[in-house]
Structures are given as structure tokens and as C-alpha cells.
Amino acid sequence: MADENSGYDKKEKSPLGDLVVSNSNSHLRAEGLIFLIGYMGCGKSTKAKQLAHRLECPVVDLDAEIVSKSGKTIAEYFIEFGESGFRNFESEMLKTFDYPKTCVVATGGGLPCFFDNMDWMNANGTTVYLQMEPAALVSRLHNRQKRPLIKDLNDEELLAFIEVKLEERNPFYMKARIIVDAFDLDAEQLEETIKNKIS
């Protein structure tokens, strides 16, 4: 269920625009930014592409943009600058990226939990939390070498790690305007949920 008091204020007009919806046909017609947030492995990048395709708008993957701008993988950036260096760069990228007027944005799993990133996203777009249980996340996180925080963990260790991290991060994630169960979620269901919540 969405948290209606999540820091999103319809009366404050964002320079990037609030999400505007037309119900003129069966598809959501969006104008504004949609930020997909959630823990690693919940499907943000995949769902962002699928949703953008349905909305006929661009998709922005912030992790991919970080890699493109820095010339380093996320893992390499962590090794060279540490997590604090990465989080600073990640926050800067979030707030200074030249977004199209309308687009779907896939964010990094930790991005909403640092600085004022979550408040900034709520002020400048519509946030959607792709919620998933820890065991389901473990089952989806097979290729861990590209993920610096979990690359050395087995399944049992990973489950315990995710449970702790979700407890820490959920207060931030739950500020999202829209919260959906991401397990077996398809793009049509996601589009319909967003449409229903903001209509």
C-alpha cells in the first residue's frame, strides 16, 4: 500500500514536473519522472526498460550512467574511492543528470538511503518501491561478483545480510509514493498500479 504522506507534495511544482496522467486510453500517458527504487536484485533495471517501453518514453539507468561518466565499473569505483566516495558521486549524478522531460529512472539499491536523495526524488518525480522478500532476493542474486557489497557471500550469509540491510533501508524505501510487490510483477501490472495510485 502506498504511503500517502511520503514527502511528496503535489502543491510544490518541481522544475522537472510532476507526473501528469491522461486516461484517454488503456495506457498510462505520463509526463514527468518515475523513479524505481528497491534493494539490489528486485528488478529495477529490467522493469524500468519494460515500463518505459509501454509508456513510449526514455529510460535512464543511473548505475549505467555512473559507469559511463567515470569510466569504471561500480565494483572498481568502490575499490578505488570506497563506499563514501561512490555515494557522493551517485548523489551528484542523481541531482545533476540532464533528464528528459518524461522518463523512467532505475536507481541503485542504496541510493535512496543516503543524504537527502529520497526527499529529492519525491520532490522531483514519482517514486515507486519495488518491494521483495529477502529469500526471493537471494534467489535472484546469482552473479554477485559485479556487486561489491555481496560478492563474497554464500546464500546463507547473503540472506542474513539482506535481512539486516532491509531493516536499515526500509524506513527510506517506505517513503516512496507507490509501493508494489515486485515478485512476479510484469510491466503491465506495474503500469496499472502506478495509473491507479496517481489517478
Which grid coordinates belong to 60? 535512464
Contact 32, 20 (CB under 8 A): yes
Which pLDDT score, from 0 to 100, does residue 6 have? 34
Strand partners, 50: none
More confident residue, 1 or 124: 124
Segment 107-114 shows an average pLDDT of 97
Segment 106-135 shows an average pLDDT of 97
Please report which confidence band the pLDDT of residue 30 belongs to, taking 50, 70 and 90 as the band edges. Answer: low
At position 55, the amino acid (one-letter code) is L
Which pLDDT score, from 0 to 100, does residue 16 have? 44
Which pLDDT score, from 0 to 100, does residue 196 have? 87
Neighbours of 53 (CB within 10 A): 12
DSSP state of 102: S
Backbone angle region of 179, left / alpha / beta, with phi > 0 → left and psi within -120 to 50 → alpha = beta
What would the pLDDT profile of 45-101 be if each residue is shown by its tens digit?
999 999 999 999 999 999 999 999 999 999 899 999 999 999 999 999 999 999 999
Measure the CA–CA gap between 1 and 57, rounded to whole angstroms. Answer: 26
Judged against a pLDDT cut of 50, whether residue 113 lies above it is answered with yes
**Among the listed residues 163, 113, 167, the one whose alpha carbon sits nearest the alpha carbon of residue 138:** 163
What would the pLDDT profile of 136-181 be if each residue is shown by its tens digit?
999 999 888 778 889 899 999 999 999 999 999 999 999 999 999 9
More confident residue, 118 or 30: 118
DSSP state of 56: T
**CA end-to-end distance (rounded Å), the chain:** 15
pTM over 0.75, yes/no: yes
Whole-number Cα distances in Å, 176 to 21, 115, 125, 155 = 18, 16, 10, 29
